[in-house]
Every structure is written in C-alpha cells, then in structure tokens.
C-alpha cells in the first residue's frame, strides 16, 4: 500500500496552484507578490468561512427540540470554535493593511466587478447570526431550546453560570456576534485605508455603504443580559 504523504492528504498540488495573479508576467515582482497576498487573504477567508458556517450549522442542529444535555455541551464546542475562527478572520483583514496601496492601484482595475459583497458564505453566515433588527436562526433555535426545557433566555441571563450549558451557549453567541461586528469594523477600516471615499468594485459607495451595514447582532440577548444591573440594584436596595 502506498504511504499517504502530507501533500497528498492536503491536496497541496491543487491548493497551491489556485493563486493566479492577473497582473501580466512582465509586471514588477513586488506588484505580483502583492496581488498574490490579496488572493491568498481572500481565499483563506473563504476557507475559514466554510468551517465557521459548518460549525454554526452543526450547533443549530444540536440545539433542536428533543436534543439532550450532551448535545448542548457539544454545541458549545462548535460555537466557541466558530467564535475563535471569526477572530482569525478579522486578523486576516488586519494583515491586509500591509498591502501597499500603490501595488493595489496597479491590479485593482483587473478585478472588474468582482467584490467581497458577492461572498455567498459571508451572506449566509450573516443570515444565521442576524443583525440588530432581526434575530437569525442561531438565536431563534437557542431561544426555542431554552423554552423546550421549560426555561427562557431571560431566565438563563438572570441565573448566569447556574443555568449551566445554556449560560455558556448565551456567552458563546455573544462572542460570535461581537467578532462578526468587529470583522466588519476592521474591514471598513481597511477599505478607508485602501480606497478613501472611493466606490467599490461591486458598485456601492464603498466605506459609506459598509458603515451603514455595521450593526451589533443579538440585540435581545444583550438587552436581557443587561437586566442583571436592575436585579442587582434592587437586591442592594432591598
Ligand atoms: C484591499 C482589501 C479590500 C478592499 C479594498 C475591500 C473593499 C470592499 C468594498 C468597497 C466593499 C463594498 C462592496 C463593493 O462595492 O465592492 C466590500 C464588501 C465586502 N468585502 Fe471587501 N475589501 C477588501 C478585503 C476583503 C477581504 C480580505 C475579504 C474577505 C473575504 C472581504 C470580504 C468582503 C465582504 C464579505 C463584503 C460584504 C460586507 C458586508 O456585507 O457588510 N473584503 N469590500
């Protein structure tokens, strides 16, 4: 039997052949390398998004009505991993600040209308997480799971650590929401650095459009958690 190699297992031949800068071969090495950096950053974001979406979906499955305490604990592992991976995602955006703007200007016209706004995985993740106006299926499923067990998100927030797995799930959701929000903040920071007030390749107004999209997910959960201040004040007054 052939021994499986590291390169075979990871399909490195294929993976490392997928970065194709569009600048002509005659371009300066520094420009070609900058475009390579731009492509790698976007491709790795999409790879991590694939994992994050799968982890969030797996957590949602484990929180469905009828699932037991062990499933809930496993869902915490998925959710905490998704939060950690979102941190990696936002750090990749920060790394792109090291893209020299003069090199970006050289290859940007070759992008045509291609834009991160077309990222289907990002859009889908946004639907699962929700925004400040709308709860996504992640929060909805969590709230239903709590209800199914005879409690509520409000009660989980009130009890804190005594609510066990539900408390940890609530905290993991908050972390995911915060990281998703911070990704958008870091991204718009990068966009202003790279485009100033210029328009995007996807046809939007650029930073101004992106600024309007930055909202904090899990508004209800934030509100319910903050009730702890009221409860605490009442306890001290009484
Ligand atoms: C030099 C670096 C970057 C620039 C100048 C940039 C620019 C922009 C602009 C202007 C938009 C608004 C849509 C448009 O008109 O095109 C946008 C949206 C977006 N970009 Fe980037 N981007 C950069 C890096 C990245 C990276 C590394 C990712 C990771 C995959 C990414 C993912 C996205 C996503 C997901 C959106 C939609 C955001 C939302 O819906 O709020 N971008 N980008």
pLDDT beyond 90 at 224:
yes
Can you give the pLDDT at residue 141? 98
Q: Where are the domains of the chain?
A: 28-110+121-225
Pocket-testing residue among 91, 106, 113, 117, ligand 1, by greatest number of atoms within 8 A of Cβ: 117
Residue 1 has pLDDT above 80, yes or no: no
Name the nearest CA neighbour of 73 among 172, 184, 213, 187: 172
Q: Which atom of ligand 1 is closest in space to residue 122's alpha carbon?
A: 35
Q: Which residues, 6 or more positions from 119, have their beta carbon under 8 angstroms from its beta carbon?
A: 46, 49
pLDDT in tens, 167-212: 999 999 999 999 999 999 999 999 999 999 999 999 999 999 999 9
Looking at residue 153, its pLDDT comes to: 98
> Is 117's C-beta closer than 6 angstroms to any atom of ligand 1?
yes
The CATH class of the 28-110+121-225 domain is mainly alpha
Structure tokens at 25: 């071969």
- pTM as predicted: 0.97
Burial state string for 184-206 with b = 16 or more CB within 10 A and e = fewer than 16: bebbbebbeebbeeeebbeeeeb
CA–CA dist 213, 69 (Å, integer): 36
Contact predicate 145/56, CB 8 Å: no
Ligand 1 pocket: which of 37, 88, 110, 116 to mutate (most atoms <8 Å of CB)? 116
Give the number of C-alpha atoms closer than 13 A to the C-alpha of residue 18, restricted to the C-beta side. 13
């Amino acid at each position: 039997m052939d021994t499986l190699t590291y390169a075979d297992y990871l399909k490195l031949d294929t993976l490392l052949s997928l970065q194709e800068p569009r600048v002509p071969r005659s371009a300066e090495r520094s420009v070609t390398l900058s475009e390579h950096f731009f492509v790698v950053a976007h491709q790795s974001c999409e790879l991590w998004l694939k994992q994050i979406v799968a982890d969030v979906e797996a957590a949602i499955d484990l929180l469905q009505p009828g699932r037991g305490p062990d499933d809930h604990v496993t869902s915490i592992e998925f959710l905490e991993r998704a939060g950690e991976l979102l941190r990696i995602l936002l750090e990749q955006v920060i790394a792109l600040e090291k893209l020299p703007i003069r090199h970006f200007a050289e290859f940007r016209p070759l992008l045509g209308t291609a834009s991160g706004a077309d990222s289907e995985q990002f859009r889908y993740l946004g639907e699962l997480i929700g925004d400040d106006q709308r709860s996504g299926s992640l929060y909805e499923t969590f709230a239903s799971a709590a209800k199914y067990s005879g409690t509520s998100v409000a009660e989980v927030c009130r009890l804190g650590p005594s609510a066990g797995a539900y408390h940890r799930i609530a905290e993991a959701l908050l972390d995911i929401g915060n990281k998703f929000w911070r990704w958008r903040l870091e991204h718009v920071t990068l966009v202003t650095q790279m485009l100033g007030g210029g328009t995007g390749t996807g046809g939007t107004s650029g930073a101004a459009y992106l600024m309007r999209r930055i909202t904090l997910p899990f508004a209800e959960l934030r509100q319910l958690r903050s009730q702890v201040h009221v409860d605490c004040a009442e306890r001290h007054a009484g």
